[in-house]
């Protein structure tokens, strides 16, 4: 009997081809983007695997509903704060994620946001479309160059290192803070210098947030930390919204306490605060770090491979310490 896989979101089928061939896979009906939580709750007892999206909540209630059949929650994301990991582990349910495909496109976007804010790309684009709103003089529309500036990376994992590589190619100085210092080989590869958190905040021209979200990183950047930054600092967040105190950031932007911010994620999910929306020195994007045709298919292939290897053997990107029963 084939294993049954419940997919919460309607994605391109191309990346799921092998999974569909091997297992009984259920997607939302044609014309619908996603299953609701209540629909998944009703269906889950008949499935072995829940293939969740990054924004679909997988809580205790849902996982207990899936027992005793549910064996695996395979998350379509590198982050997994949508899943109650301690409960999954306690219930003997394995959890996996998709770290590989998201690295380069997320680093691309972080770097793009740095450049967009520093060179005021969206600001001048917006005003150029309004007759008479833009000056064409030598001292108008000034921004900052990247070369020679210091990039402070909070979180020197895969994405942080990919961003460091881009910064090095742009002749930037790279410093970083991480829970654990990376190896001397990695530091040498990116000419990256380890510093304490406070020093990074004080000395960086650009600060990129690349840490996972947890109770320990909630509001890691708040008013106190922003006060330590240079008035010309640019803050970029492509990780998770609640890592940054959004209202404190909006106040700092409004008062020109820092130069600007580039945000792909927001503290209140898809409900961007009016305070941030009002800040013309913020460049904002709707969580598009991995929104490319290539990556969507690569992630589908990765999540499929996690499921197949879970049952048939091979590398699996486990999040918790639960293997096949």
Do residues 135 and 25 both lie within one domain? no
Confidence of residue 1 (pLDDT cuts 50, 70, 90): confident
Structure confidence at residue 325 (pLDDT):
63
* Residue 252 located in a structural domain: yes
Q: In the beta sheet, which residues pair with residue 52? A: 75
Do residues 59 and 114 both lie within one domain? no
Do residues 135 and 229 both lie within one domain? yes
Mean pLDDT over the full length of the chain? 96
Do residues 176 and 120 both lie within one domain? yes
User: Is the pTM for the entire model greater than 0.85?
Assistant: yes
263-264-267 Cα angle (round to 5) = 75
Structure confidence at residue 78 (pLDDT):
87
The number of distinct structural domains making up the chain is 2
Do residues 12 and 147 both lie within one domain? no
Do residues 116 and 233 both lie within one domain? yes
* Residue 321 located in a structural domain: no
Percent of the chain at pLDDT > 70 equals 99
96-105 pLDDT, tens digit each: 999 989 999 9
Structure confidence at residue 316 (pLDDT):
95
* Residue 73 located in a structural domain: yes
The enclosing domain of 65 has a CATH number of 3.40.50.720
Closest Cα to residue 10, out of 26, 34, 44?
A: 34
Do residues 222 and 151 both lie within one domain? yes
Residue 12: is its pLDDT beyond 90?
A: no
208-214-215 Cα angle (round to 5) = 120
Distance of alpha carbon 290 from alpha carbon 295, whole angstroms: 6
Residue 324: is its pLDDT beyond 90?
A: no
Q: Which domain holds residue 126?
A: 103-284
- Using CA atoms, how far residue 185 sits from 5, 141, 190, in Å, is 41, 41, 9
Do residues 64 and 142 both lie within one domain? no
Please tell me the least confidently modeled range out of 125-139, 163-177, 249-263, 272-286.
125-139
């Amino acid at each position: 009997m084939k294993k049954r896989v419940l997919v919460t979101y309607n994605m391109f089928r191309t990346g799921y081809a092998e999974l569909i061939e091997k297992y009984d896979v259920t997607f939302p009906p044609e014309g619908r983007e996603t299953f609701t939580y209540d629909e998944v709750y009703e269906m889950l007892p008949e499935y072995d695997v829940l293939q969740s999206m990054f924004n679909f909540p997988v809580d205790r209630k849902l996982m207990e509903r899936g027992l005793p059949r549910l064996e695996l929650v395979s998350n379509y994301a590198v982050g997994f704060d949508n899943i109650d990991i301690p409960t999954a582990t306690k219930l003997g349910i394995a959890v996996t994620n998709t770290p590989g495909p998201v690295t380069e496109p997320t680093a691309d976007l972080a770097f793009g946001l740095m450049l967009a804010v520093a060179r005021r790309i969206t600001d001048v684009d917006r005003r150029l479309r309004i007759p008479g709103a833009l000056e064409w003089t030598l001292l108008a529309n000034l921004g900052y160059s990247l070369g020679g500036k210091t990039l402070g990376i909070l979180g020197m994992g895969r994405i942080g290192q990919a961003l460091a590589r881009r910064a090095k190619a742009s002749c930037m100085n790279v410093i970083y803070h991480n829970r654990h210092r990376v190896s001397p080989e990695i530091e040498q590869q990116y000419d990256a210098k380890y510093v304490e958190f406070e020093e990074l905040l004080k000395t960086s021209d650009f600060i990129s947030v690349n840490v996972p979200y947890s109770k320990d990183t909630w509001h890691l950047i708040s008013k106190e930390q922003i006060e330590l930054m240079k008035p010309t600092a640019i803050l970029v967040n492509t990780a998770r919204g609640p890592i940054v105190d959004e209202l404190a950031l909006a106040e700092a932007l409004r008062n020109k306490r820092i130069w600007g911010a580039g945000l792909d994620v927001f503290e209140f999910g898809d409900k961007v605060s009016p305070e941030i929306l009002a800040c013309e020195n913020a460049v904002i994007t709707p969580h598009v770090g991995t929104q490319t045709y290539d990556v969507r298919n690569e992630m589908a292939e990765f999540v499929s491979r996690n499921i197949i290897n879970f049952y048939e053997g091979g590398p699996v990107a486990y999040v918790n310490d639960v293997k096949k029963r």
